[in-house]
Amino acid sequence: MARLLLSLVILSACICCSPAARDNKGTEFILTFPENEQRDLHNPKVFIACTHSSGATVTITTPSNGVTTTVHVTYGEVKQVEVDRVAVELRGSVKSNKAVHITSDVEIVVYGVFAERASSDAYLALPTDVLGTEYFTPCAAPKPPKPSEIGVAAVQDGTTVTIVPSQAVMFDGQNYAAGQAFSVGLNRFETLQVQAMQDLTGSKITATQPVAVLSGNQFAVCKPLGEQQVGSGDYVVEMIPPVDTWGKEFVTVPLTKHTGGDLFRVVAARDNTLVDITNENTKSLNSGEFWEIDVPSDGYRHVTSSEPVLLVQYSKTGKVDNTVTDPFMMVIPPVAQFETEYTFATVDLISTNQLRTDHYVNLVMRSAEKTGLRLDGQRLPGDTTWHDVPGTDFAAVQLNISAGTHTVRHLSPIVNIGLFSYGFTNLESYGYPGGLRLAQIAALCSTTAPVPADRVDNDCDGRVDEELLNGIDDDGDGLIDEDLAGSNCADNRDQYRTCLQQRCRNLAP
């Protein structure tokens, strides 16, 4: 009995004191905007969505000019806040002070949106509590004289950032050869940008303290390597997850509207990384190397690797298939970082012909679990077309959605879903993951006590929160209740008592 009481006390303490989950929702964000085309000089925006029914009070500050704006964001709303372009846009290959600081009294979802005429993209912002100290960057083949680019923003004073560019670059007037490391000192809210007329994919960024890293191109066409980069282009950008959150299994889904296929790049962080892709030969990559594949518009691929990798999807120029589309770059989260529920927002773009923006979402999940899926609280229509992913038990679907804020969730807290949000209009596009977990599944791991929904790999199996507190081996690994998802046990007092009683019975000798 003493053992049962002790277990009950420990479990109660764990549930009550669960740390903030490692995911894209947060209460503090530090971000910036890599350089875009200087056409109509539109200001960038931050889009803010709130997942709390009580709403959020959010403060947006641009340290370079001292301007502060405070807004209240209600549940289900997308609040758009313009930020002064001169104060936040990185220009040239130099050090600067162009950060945006966002704080909130409750967790929020933030997007950086830079919509310029015929040159737009958006990215999902990552909160400061999940940033890291090691990154490798994805970019695209440049369309000269428009460079590929890397942006960095510091979170803490006294941060030393070391950059190993994959191509020759000039920074602050100094030339550096490909592979030649150079370091830059940054204080909190200071930023830097590195640009090159060659593809900076695979450049390595390390820092003595966590930093935010963004990369992409000022203007890219996104045709396959070896093809001339001509046609309609676009600004492409993403905020990059740190290496310690990368994964080893991915599923790719084609983009709606395109008929000429999509580009994908696999970027490796470690030497001798073996990558296997459906219908492709296995390839070995060393640190900083990447593999680009061109997947047909009816193709679904399963990607696995021996070491953690980053996977990025590129929408091609609309000229490849004469569609009303344009390039964007989108990080594809690994299966292990899929979420069980999402709150995400669409982005309205600037159309040269005053056309509306068409918004889409791609969803991925295990085929047997589709019945519990809910979009904005509703089942999907009965005629929804799902596509099986060859060689796996996953299925994927492409959906047309309305503008605004949406939710996707599963009735079970241990069923994970991949979600990718994007949109097109004439000569414009955007794309980003709808959300993701950012558990440190690629870092050195030590087993820890299970805390519900802590986004920690408690049992070091490369997955997080895959068990219910039910005395059953939900993930089939021979262990019981070793890595707990959130459930009514933690959230509902009536269910909490029942769950604890069941837990005590499971602990009985």
For 223-246, give the secondary structure using H, E and C: CCCCCCCCCCCEEEEEECCCHHHC
Give me the residues paired with residue 422 across strands.
360, 431
Q: How far is CA 161 from CA 34, 93, 167, 187, 209, in A?
A: 17, 15, 18, 10, 8
Q: How far is CA 156 from the centre of its chain?
A: 22
Number of other CB atoms surrounding residue 190 within 10 Å: 22
Instruction: Give pLDDT, residue 487.
Output: 58
Over residues 48-78, the pLDDT tens digits come to 999 888 999 999 999 999 999 999 999 888 8
The CA-based angle 61-66-72, given to 5 degrees, is: 30
Residue among 306, 308, 295, 152 nearest 245 (CA): 308
Report d(CA 434, CA 339) in Å as an integer.
10
Give, as one character, the DSSP assignment of residue 381. P
Residue among 230, 211, 37, 47 nearest 137 (CA): 211
Q: How far is CA 432 from the centre of its chain?
A: 7
Report d(CA 288, CA 270) in Å as an integer.
8
Three-state secondary structure call for residue 253:
coil
Could you tell me the residue ranges of all domains in the chain?
Answer: 26-433, 444-507
Per the document, the length of the chain is 509
Over residues 484-507, the pLDDT tens digits come to 777 544 444 445 455 545 544 443
The answer to pTM > 0.75 is yes
Report d(CA 171, CA 162) in Å as an integer.
12
Q: Which residues in the chain show pLDDT less than 70?
A: 1-20, 351-354, 476, 487-509
User: What b/e readout covers 52-85, taking b as 16+ CB neighbours within 10 angstroms?
Assistant: beebbebebbbbbeeeeeebebeebbbbebebeb
Q: What is the CA radius of gyration of the chain?
A: 22
Instruction: Give pLDDT, residue 105.
Output: 96
The CA-based angle 411-423-39, given to 5 degrees, is: 145
Residue among 87, 88, 52 nearest 72 (CA): 52
Q: Across all residues in the chain, what is the average pLDDT?
A: 89
Q: Catalogue the E-assigned strands of 325-404.
A: 328-332, 341-345, 358-366, 373-375, 387-388, 394-401
DSSP per-residue string spanning 34-61: -----SS-PPPEEEEEE-STT-EEEEEE
Give, as one character, the DSSP assignment of residue 143. B
Report d(CA 312, CA 283) in Å as an integer.
17
Give me the residues paired with residue 283 across strands.
275
Q: For tokens 């530090």, what's the residue?
A: 30
Give me the residues paired with residue 163 across strands.
182, 205
CA-based torsion, 256, 259, 265, 266: positive or negative: positive
